[in-house]
Amino acid sequence: KQEVTQIPAALSVPEGENLVLNCSFTDSAIYNLQWFRQDPGKGLTSLLLIQSSQREQTSGRLNASLDKSSGRSTLYIAASQPGDSATYLCAVRRSGGGYNKLIFGAGTRLAVHP
């Protein structure tokens, strides 16, 4: 059974710091991995999607990497800003049967203070 773990559960950093959020999964047979942002009381916004054949994806100050063999993904945020404060969720899409389904981690709650 696929399990997704995100560490740390919460993180507080000063503005301007570069930071790394971690996501690990137990079954390397994934189709892709998606990183989301969730603001308090709001829905999920997709940030980056990495296919299983890719190693990384970049969007602005965000860079996500994927190492399928070790079951890990990282989300790198450069030069953090208070507006980056949110919960970040990773989710894996399984390959094979049940390929439409995403398995989510519990998220990392990020606070960036001025």
Cα separation, 48 vs 33, in Å, equals: 8
At closest approach, how far in Å is the CB of 106 from other proteins?
Answer: 4
Q: Which is nearer to other proteins, 72 or 109 (CB)?
A: 109
Parallel/antiparallel/unpaired status of strands 10-14 and 30-38: unpaired
Q: Which is nearer to other proteins, 45 or 81 (CB)?
A: 45
Binding site for other proteins (CB under 8 A): 4, 9, 31-32, 34, 36, 41-46, 49, 51, 89, 91, 93, 99-102, 104-107
